[in-house]
Amino acid sequence: GAVVSQHPSWVICKSGTSVKIECRSLDFQATTMFWYRQFPKQSLMLMATSNEGSKATYEQGVEKDKFLINHASLTLSTLTVTSAHPEDSSFYICSARPSSPTDYGYTFGSGTRLTVV
């Protein structure tokens, strides 16, 4: 089956610093990757869609300059939270869509718990 690896699983950073989260598709090529944010006991909110080799498409209300997304290859996308503040603390999850159709739907990473202190 399709596997997506997300690192780190959790990170604590100081306010004002930047944090990078990696999302890798391990056994398939992912044309498109998605980044979500999830607050406690709430559903997944799509932040942005990234396509390999092109600029990410951000959802309304998501700050492009704060949440930098890079999708440099068919197996790797990164989300960088710049100048993090406590309100950026959340659970961030990536998902990937295989280049070839599968019946697995979209595969999700295990998530990253970000705490900004």
Closest CA to 90 of 56, 57, 60, 66: 66
Contact assessment for residue 84 and residue 65, using Cβ atoms and an 8 Å cutoff? no
Contact 43, 20 (CB under 8 A): no
Which residues here bind another protein, judged by CB under 8 A? 4, 6, 32, 34, 41-44, 46, 49, 91, 93, 95, 97, 103-111, 113
Please choose, from the candidates 83, 84, 86, the residue with its C-alpha nearest in 3D space to the C-alpha of residue 117: 86
The per-residue DSSP string of 53-78 comes to: TS--EEPTT--TTTEEEEEEETTEEE
For another protein, give the closer residue by CB, 50 or 75. Answer: 50
- State the nearest-atom distance from the C-beta of 86 to another protein, in Å: 20
The distance of closest approach from Cβ of residue 24 to another protein in the complex, given in angstroms and rounded to an integer, is: 13
- CB 4, min distance to another protein, A: 8
- Closer to another protein at the Cβ: 44 or 74? 44
- For the CB of residue 22, give the shortest distance to another protein in the complex, in Å: 14
Nearer to another protein, 12 or 16 (CB): 12
